[in-house]
Chain A
């Protein structure tokens, strides 16, 4: 009896708040579920290398709309199908989890685990949106996709400038302790797991869009010392600066993608060109070629030997068949080379991907 009465009182209170709320017209509270995922077959050339298959990603997207202004959005990911103690591989992680408070078209306050708006693939990483079975190496070793950190920021359209939008966030910093020669800043990410806030960092993006054309510029700036006395205890100790520019241009049957990024002592660029056949139908067959050049040791301190195998040159040829724009069957052939001229490897990959 008591519980029922309490619940009744609570409902009445919520109802009165709802009727008092201005601008609530049309708002319908609802929960939605979506997802994306991909399965890969990979075969590297060389002696005794049978192919491997992997359920690379299975992601559940869960969102709740409280009203037209406030919404929660999240992505929960399982990598490599299963996670077992003491076994390598496998990961369960939140990729995004944030609350949006939309004040106007020009300003939405976003807070929680967010995606730094850097490059093309970090924010739009669903498999049907990019060519190639796996994400480009550039978007792994240079822009550490999927990059997510905890913070608060603002997103919206720039008023009075049709086509211009922005996103800026204040988030926890990277940790230099995780940086490596081969993967750059990748393992410096904290990914929302008891992250240190010793080095508040800024990241943001300005984007300009027209039908068929999108240009963007992104940055990240922040310390990485994590209060390590050897690196410095200031908020901006051992800073890194990331600058990136990207372009997407679709003309006729051709779709061009280019991204360049420069990080601290790193330097990298990737160029991705694809050719779409049969653009007029709802199905699509993309033939593409992508060339990536990046070096996670483009510059090294005096006295340190530069590892030329890290200056990577990756060429990828492939096909993506998309029976709908939300599903993809993919195949590609990659030539992995480096400046040292050693360890040349070819990789054949097949995969499927979906999103909804």
Chain B
């Protein structure tokens, strides 16, 4: 289930990751919407918004990749649970930067957990792994370009 985050949050996230002059186009693949980010003639990357269920609430996040399919960053757009909000901390999110679809992206292996936020850590990590694999596959197949 994907819940729409406030558009201003998505825009702010894109500006933070790709700069204020990035152009954003929406591409449709299967039933998913992928954001294509470019500047002039050059592709800067792709981004997608998704949701995973934490303990019982959806956690809405954005995953952005660069043209080489490396993960640029993860942004937590809307967090609704009473506990586990540590997944929004940059110190935790930055573990994902530079990851590729071939990396394990597993809690306890290349992603360290945060005590007291275990459920959210597992949920977001699984969601990012899935989304990175999807974006990479679509980019490599030419479904997004």
Binding site for B on A (CB under 8 A): 23, 25-28, 32, 34, 61, 63, 65, 68, 71, 73, 100, 102, 105, 108, 110, 120, 123-124, 129, 155, 157, 162-163, 165, 209-212, 214, 248, 250, 255, 279-280, 325-326
- CB pair A25 B6 closer than 8 Å: yes
Which residues in A have their C-beta under 8 angstroms from that of B88? 105, 157
Q: Could you list some 17 contacts between A and B, CB below 8 A?
A: A25-B4, A34-B55, A65-B57, A68-B78, A105-B79, A123-B116, A162-B91, A163-B86, A165-B85, A210-B91, A211-B113, A212-B112, A214-B115, A248-B115, A280-B106, A280-B109, A325-B119
Which residues in B have their C-beta under 8 angstroms from that of A129? 118
**Closest chain A CB from B71 CB (angstroms):** 16
Complex: chain B residue closest to A249, CB-CB: B115
Q: Which of B6, B83, B117 touches A26 (beta carbons < 8 Å)?
A: B6
Give the docked Cα–Cα distance between A122 and B109 (Å). 29
Complex: chain B residue closest to A69, CB-CB: B80
Which residues in B have their C-beta under 8 angstroms from that of A120? 116
Q: Which of A26, A71, A102, A212 touches B3 (beta carbons < 8 Å)?
A: A26
**Closest chain B CB from A108 CB (angstroms):** 8
- CB pair A250 B85 closer than 8 Å: no
Give the docked Cα–Cα distance between A123 and B116 (Å). 9
Return the CB mask of B114-130 against A: 1 if under 8 Å, else 0: 11111100100000000
Chain B interface category by residue count: 35 or more
Give the docked Cα–Cα distance between A27 and B115 (Å). 29
Across the A-B interface, give the 3 residue pairs with the lowest CB-CB distance, nearest first. A211-B112, A32-B56, A248-B115
> Quick one: which of B65-89 are within 8 Å of A by CB?
78-80, 82-83, 85-86, 88-89
Give the docked Cα–Cα distance between A343 and B19 (Å). 69
Q: Is B25 an interface residue (CB 8 A)?
A: no
- CB pair B116 A124 closer than 8 Å: yes
Give the docked Cα–Cα distance between A295 and B7 (Å). 55
Give the docked Cα–Cα distance between A211 and B92 (Å). 6
- Given A73-B82, A163-B91, A280-B109, does the pair A211, B57 have CB atoms closer than 8 Å? no
- CB pair B4 A26 closer than 8 Å: yes
Q: Is B60 an interface residue (CB 8 A)?
A: yes
- CB pair A209 B82 closer than 8 Å: no
Give the docked Cα–Cα distance between A23 and B98 (Å). 33
Which residues in A have their C-beta under 8 angstroms from that of B4? 25-26
Which residues in B have their C-beta under 8 angstroms from that of A326? 119
- CB pair B3 A248 closer than 8 Å: no
- CB pair A26 B78 closer than 8 Å: yes
Q: Which of B3, B78, B109, B114 touches A214 (beta carbons < 8 Å)?
A: B114
Give the docked Cα–Cα distance between A26 and B2 (Å). 9
- CB pair B57 A209 closer than 8 Å: no
**Closest chain B CB from A230 CB (angstroms):** 40
> Quick one: which of B1-37 are within 8 Å of A by CB?
3-7
Give the docked Cα–Cα distance between A299 and B3 (Å). 56
Which residues in A have their C-beta under 8 angstroms from that of B106? 280
Give the docked Cα–Cα distance between A209 and B86 (Å). 7
- Given A124-B116, A209-B114, A211-B91, does the pair A280, B85 have CB atoms closer than 8 Å? no
Q: Is B108 an interface residue (CB 8 A)?
A: yes
Give the docked Cα–Cα distance between A27 and B5 (Å). 9
Give the docked Cα–Cα distance between A211 and B115 (Å). 8
Give the docked Cα–Cα distance between A102 and B92 (Å). 22
- CB pair B114 A212 closer than 8 Å: yes
Q: Which of B56, B89, B90, B112 touches A34 (beta carbons < 8 Å)?
A: B56
Which residues in A have their C-beta under 8 angstroms from that of B80? 65, 68, 71, 102
Complex: chain B residue closest to A128, CB-CB: B118
**Closest chain B CB from A276 CB (angstroms):** 9
Complex: chain B residue closest to A98, CB-CB: B82
Give the docked Cα–Cα distance between A162 and B91 (Å). 7
**Closest chain B CB from A109 CB (angstroms):** 12
- CB pair B116 A211 closer than 8 Å: no
Which residues in A have their C-beta under 8 angstroms from that of B86? 163, 165, 209, 214
Which residues in B have their C-beta under 8 angstroms from that of A157? 85, 88
Complex: chain A residue closest to B57, CB-CB: A65
